[in-house]
Amino acid sequence: MFVCCGLVTLDVLQVVERLPAPDEKVVATDLEVGFGGPAANAAATAVALGVRARLVTALGSGPVADLVRSGLRDAGVELVDLLEGAPGTPAVSTVLVTRATGERAVVSVNATGVGDLAGRVRALADATLAGASVLLLDGHHLGAAVALADRARSAGVTVVLDGGSWKPGLDELLALVDHAVLSGDFLLPSALVPDGVDDLGAVAALGPQLVARSAGSGPVPYLLADGTRGAVVPPPVPVDEVVDTLGAGDVLHGAYCAELVRGGSPVGALERAVQTATASVRHRGARSWSQLTPSAASGRERVTNRSPGDPDLGSVGVAP
């Protein structure tokens, strides 16, 4: 079992020939509306790869929330809604994808406006983590993330951080993280970077036993607790085969955690995850690659059928 805690959004994705200039309107060549967000996409990736996944997030009730909830259900992702029974509107992300390159521009309010959910997640932590071996946090809903990570560490659950960008308070969370897989945009405040220490080393000094950083199509360097350094080189993808880079990082994190759940080593999991994420850029969005893979479809069928021994979470706001 794989648990994700973090952001879910409603993504409105439009494909354009080029980004509009100021005061200019352009006509999109394609449109897609569906759920997104780093934690949600990572959970859906794991399900597509045959690993059962549970998403802890703040959704609430309302028309937009219902649309997102339906999408998660269709993707086979179990839901722990920290706003269960309360009105809520998930963040809406506007995504412009340039057709020729697959590059994207994103505007979103993220998780702003949602209060501290730490108390709610503490009440649900044991049931939420039941049967889990890996917990992924994306840094959103930080109070809830810290509370859940603390409980996970006590329960022997491996804690992984999707470090998309630095957020105030992440130093507290990093102290509870076993593996940190960062994006190229993740930069520590200068006060947390000792002289003569690179970014990977500075993050490792805060607690993680593995630190890796993705960099688009470039190599993914990593640092282990014993000082071992290396890099995973993605397979090449010709520029004219790149359809969409949106969500490739989310696929990376979901695939990485799925491999850990299966018992893979951190470096082996990173190698497999880089391959999966690279393959995903040949398809639109963060999930369409999995819909074209027969093994992914069969994996979804496996994980959406609970066995009789699985814990019943229906009383704590978890939707199958």
Give the DSSP H/E element, type plus range, for residue 5.
strand 2-5
At 261-286, the pLDDT tens digits run 999 999 999 999 999 999 888 876 66
d(CA 50, CA 9): 23
2-7+37-90+111-301 topology per CATH: UDP-N-acetylmuramoyl-L-alanine:D-glutamate ligase (3.40.1190)
Give the DSSP H/E element, type plus range, for residue 96.
strand 91-98
d(CA 145, CA 138): 8
Q: Determine the pLDDT at residue 158.
A: 99
At 23-63, the pLDDT tens digits run 999 999 999 898 999 999 999 999 999 999 999 999 999 99
Q: Determine the pLDDT at residue 140.
A: 92
Identify the three-state secondary structure at position 70: helix
pTM of the model: 0.84
Q: Which 8-state DSSP code applies to residue 236?
A: P
Q: Where are the alpha helices (DSSP H) in 167-293?
A: 170-174, 199-204, 248-261, 266-280, 288-291
d(CA 66, CA 60): 9
Q: Read off the amino acid at residue 71.
A: G
Residues of the chain with pLDDT under 70: 111-113, 244, 284-320
3-state helix, strand, coil in the chain (%, to 5): 35, 20, 45
Closest CA relative to residue 244, chosen from 286, 290, 184, 293:
286
User: Rg for the chain (alpha carbons), in Å?
Assistant: 19
Q: Are 44 and 289 in contact (CB under 8 A)?
A: no
What's the angle, vertex CA 48, arms to CA 320 and CA 234, rounded to 5?
Answer: 145
d(CA 199, CA 270): 19
d(CA 168, CA 173): 10
Q: Determine the pLDDT at residue 163.
A: 96
Closest CA relative to residue 142, chosen from 6, 250, 9, 32:
6
d(CA 70, CA 282): 26
d(CA 77, CA 43): 7
Instruction: Find how far residue 56's CA is from the centre of its chain.
Output: 11
Residues recorded for the chain: 320
Tokens 């993740």: give the residue.
186
Q: Which two tokens stand for residue 100?
A: 């020729």
d(CA 48, CA 44): 6
d(CA 146, CA 144): 6
Q: Are 135 and 149 in contact (CB under 8 A)?
A: yes
Helix 38-48 × helix 63-74 angle, to 10°: 30
